[in-house]
C-alpha cells in the first residue's frame, strides 16, 4: 500500500513542477508583451 502513496506523491510533485513552468512561461510572455507595448507607446509620443 505504501508504494501507491509514494507514487501519488511523485506524480503530484511532477504535476506541480509542470504547473510552475507554465506559470513562469505565462509571466514571461505577459511581461514581454508589456515591455513591447511600453516601447511602442514611447515611439508614438
The Cα–Cα gap between 21 and 39 comes to 27
Task: Tell me what pLDDT residue 6 has.
Answer: 81
The Cα–Cα gap between 34 and 45 comes to 17
The Cα–Cα gap between 39 and 45 comes to 10
pLDDT tens track for 5-41:
788 888 888 888 898 899 899 888 888 877 656 555 6
Give residue limits of the domains in the chain. 13-45
Task: Tell me what pLDDT residue 44 has.
Answer: 60
Task: Tell me what pLDDT residue 11 has.
Answer: 82
pTM of the model: 0.46
Amino acid at each position: 500500500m505504501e508504494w501507491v502513496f509514494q507514487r501519488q506523491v511523485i506524480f503530484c510533485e511532477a504535476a506541480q513542477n509542470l504547473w510552475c513552468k507554465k506559470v513562469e512561461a505565462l509571466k514571461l510572455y505577459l511581461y514581454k508583451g508589456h515591455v513591447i507595448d511600453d516601447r511602442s507607446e514611447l515611439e508614438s509620443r
